Structure 1
Amino acid sequence: MNTQYAPRFGPIRGRAGRAMAQASGCEVKEVLGDQALAVGVLDCD
């Protein structure tokens, strides 16, 4: 969840990736999507 008003995806991409890595325990290879929905490509080897 991000309560920031009308954020651009570029600045939040890194934060989304770090959150995905922390939640999944996997390395995040790529973060795709937009402000409404971010999807991570994970490497869980």
Structure 2
Amino acid sequence: AAKEFKTGMIIFLSSWVIVTIDLIALFIGVTLKLNSVHSLWYSGIIL
């Protein structure tokens, strides 16, 4: 039961990671379209 729970948690967490990356990528894409110069400078500070 513990092994199945661990596998379920890994699948759950990895799906959350994928969704989070997709949302970040979407947000960055929209920001780049709205204001490319400012967003590149802004993401440079974040990174």
How does the TM-score come out when normalised to structure 1? 0.36
Question: Of Structure 1 and Structure 2, which has the larger fraction of its residues in helix?
Answer: 2
**Which structure has the highest strand share of the two?**
1
* Higher radius of gyration, 1 or 2: 2
Q: With CA pairs under 8 Å and 6+ residues apart, which has the higher RCO, 1 or 2?
A: 1
Q: TM-score, normalised by structure 2?
A: 0.35
